[in-house]
Structure 1
Amino acid sequence: MRSTLTLTVAAGLIFAGAGAAPASADAPKGAYWRVETVFTRTHPHAVGSGYHLTERSVSVDWLSPEGKSWGGYRELGARPATEKDEAAWRADGSPTAWAYRTEGMKIRLSTEPGKGFVGTDKKRPDGFRLGEKYVTFQQLQSLPTDVEALRKYLVADVNAWIDKSAEEAKTTAPKATKNDWLVNLDRYVAGMATELLYVNPAPDKVRAAAYQVLKTTKGVSDLGRAKDPLGRPGQKLALPVPSNKDSVLKQQLLVDTEAMTLLAEYTDLKDGGKAVLGKSGVKTFEAGWTNDKPAVPDAR
């Protein structure tokens, strides 16, 4: 049975975090913070007589208040991507499985969901990943609830990561400069603010402040109200387009402005004006507390 998520929403949450008072820690509302991600994309290689398939997969992460983690994954099956692809598929006899080799690897696709798995990553340290570091549940609860204080915190964290990355790059890319990262500073900050909306069980007021940081970050565009592929309404935002000479990456987000959680992420990656299949697509998210134990994700 699919896990039931619960998420408490405080009245007037959209305006929370306007004061300078420190965050009030939210007590865990379940045994695990659970994040489910369903990714829908077009398979990068044509199959059969030359048609493309849409693939779906689901991944689930569980985090206990002590920072213990579990992960689950399942392929959900493939199907023709468009009406034209479906016509070609039917002309091929409506196969339910495909296989081909690329770069020495055997790729197998099926219309049926995979068996999936669930387990722990023994290399992952205990804790909640925040940017490039891991923090405790208590540290997560003490994040700033004031919008500008949280922005300052995130900018400092991103700058520390940029300093480290620029220093490490000297050995492999001597011509690289710190500005290669700084040119995308606003995008990195927006990305960190977005993660606070779903990745970890941040307090309600922190998520509200994170949303305000996100929507007011330079280069972020408000696209108005919209619905995700599951029919859930939210506010749609476009992230700044990163500076890259070789490709263009456009990403849009849909945020539930009542629960202050991320509902969907739309990715459009083009190289030389052509869509990069397999990396472009849409992800839908469900995040919240649950008492259900980690298990192989359901097929749906």
Structure 2
Amino acid sequence: MRFTLAVAAGLLFAGVAAVPASADAPKAAYWRVETTFTRTHDHAVGSGYYLTQRSVETEWLSPEGRSWFGFRELGAKPATKKDEAAWRADGSPTTWAYRTEGMKIRLSVKPGKGTIGVTKGRPDGFRLGEKYVTYQQLQALPTEAEALRKQLTSEVNTWIDEAAEEAKTTDPKATKNDWLVNLDRYVAERASELLYVNPVPDKVRAAAYQVLKTTKGVSDLGRSKDPLGRSGRKLALPVSSSEGSVLKQQLLVDTQTMTLLAEYTDLKDGGKPMLGTSGVQTFKAGWTNDKPAVPGVS
């Protein structure tokens, strides 16, 4: 999953705000976000080869803030040509199983049946940072980059204050500086979420992209394509490091629609790649009238 500020507890549901004149009206029945994950398991199987697994999850949000969630495993396969050769030497099995941290992991080359249902354990509304807001409040977000940066920075600082205080209950040596060192990264992350998570106005999305690409530490890597062949601008977030772990992330943005296409995550601990958490996610976000259903196989 993504490394975002969404780990904070104590979610709030905010009140209703007036709709500004520049607001975007809902263009369909649902705002739909499809996320496809590709990751390599960190546990070798068979004679010692590794598997890459794909899965897809989809969220549908109505303008009233109701949420539906679908998920499907898309199947596993050998990660590299070397792994494929070892797999074939093992007789080309189509299922695998192994234990890790007390859990039994089962994998198959075939896609799963998938699930669909109403999202439970959340209030109606749209997740924005550490709170839930209404559709009207999404439309009232700043459309100027510096005003939006100011708001996002203020929200991140509030979260840092709360996180630092909570950390002291288990680590008396924890200080606010433990979080402030990554302030720019947090602001960039928050801006990137506005590019796909919620149906914000087009002008807000454009402002969020400006905030993202001009945040201190963010670097422009030029044009690139994602695993689906879609072209966009690739940006690298500030590198985050803590207690031997180093997290690098790159984002691919469609600068025509100002939507996030893909996120590349490279996490290392003590210089060793963390295969289970590193990988690539692709996103498809937009309005749809299609009712929630089990994600398809692709």
Instruction: Give CA deviations for 1:264-293 in whole Å, capped at 9, x if unaligned.
Output: 000011111111011110000000000001
Quick check: 1:43–1:277 contact (8 Å CA) kept in 2? Answer: yes
Partner of 1:13: none
Partner of 2:8: none
SS at match of 1:71: strand
Partner of 1:259: 257
SS at match of 2:147: helix
Partner of 1:146: 144
Correspondent of 2:167 among 163, 166, 169 = 169
Partner of 1:155: 153
Which is worse superposed, 92-101 or 190-199? 92-101
Structure 1: tracts of 5 or more residues without a match: 1-21
Give 1:174 deviation, angstroms. Answer: 1.0
Give 1:87 deviation, angstroms. Answer: 0.5
Give 1:196 deviation, angstroms. Answer: 0.1
- What is the identity percentage for the equivalent residue pairs of Structure 1 and Structure 2? 81
Matches within 5 A, 1:208-227: 208-227=206-225
* 2:110 maps to 1:112: yes
Give 1:23 deviation, angstroms. Answer: 6.9
Task: Tell me how many residue pairs correspond in the alignment.
Answer: 279
Structure 2 distance, partners of 1:269, 1:122, is 30
Quick check: 1:226–1:235 contact (8 Å CA) kept in 2? Answer: yes
Correspondent of 1:129 among 105, 127, 130 = 127
Quick check: 1:23–1:203 contact (8 Å CA) kept in 2? Answer: no
Partner of 2:16: none
Partner of 1:194: 192
Matches within 5 A, 1:57-96: 57-96=55-94
Quick check: 1:196–1:210 contact (8 Å CA) kept in 2? Answer: yes
SS at match of 2:179: helix
SS at match of 1:173: coil
Partner of 1:3: none
Structure 2 distance, partners of 1:274, 1:83, is 21
Instruction: Give CA deviations for 1:208-238 in whole Å, capped at 9, x if unaligned.
Output: 0000000000000000011111111100000
Quick check: 1:154–1:189 contact (8 Å CA) kept in 2? Answer: yes
Structure 1 distance, partners of 2:98, 2:276, is 16
Q: Greater relative contact order (Cα 8 A, min sep 6): structure 1 or 2?
A: 1
Matches within 5 A, 1:96-107: 96-107=94-105
SS at match of 2:112: coil
SS at match of 1:243: strand
Quick check: 1:23–1:144 contact (8 Å CA) kept in 2? Answer: no
Letter in 2 for 1:271: D
Structure 2 distance, partners of 1:189, 1:102, is 35
Which is worse superposed, 97-106 or 63-72? 97-106
Matches within 5 A, 1:21-36: 24-36=22-34
Structure 1 distance, partners of 2:241, 2:99, is 34
Partner of 1:7: none
Structure 1 distance, partners of 2:241, 2:280, is 22
List 4+ stretches of structure 1 deviating above 3 A. none
Quick check: 1:23–1:205 contact (8 Å CA) kept in 2? Answer: no
Structure 2 distance, partners of 1:23, 1:184, is 36
TM-score, reference length from structure 2: 0.92
Partner of 1:228: 226
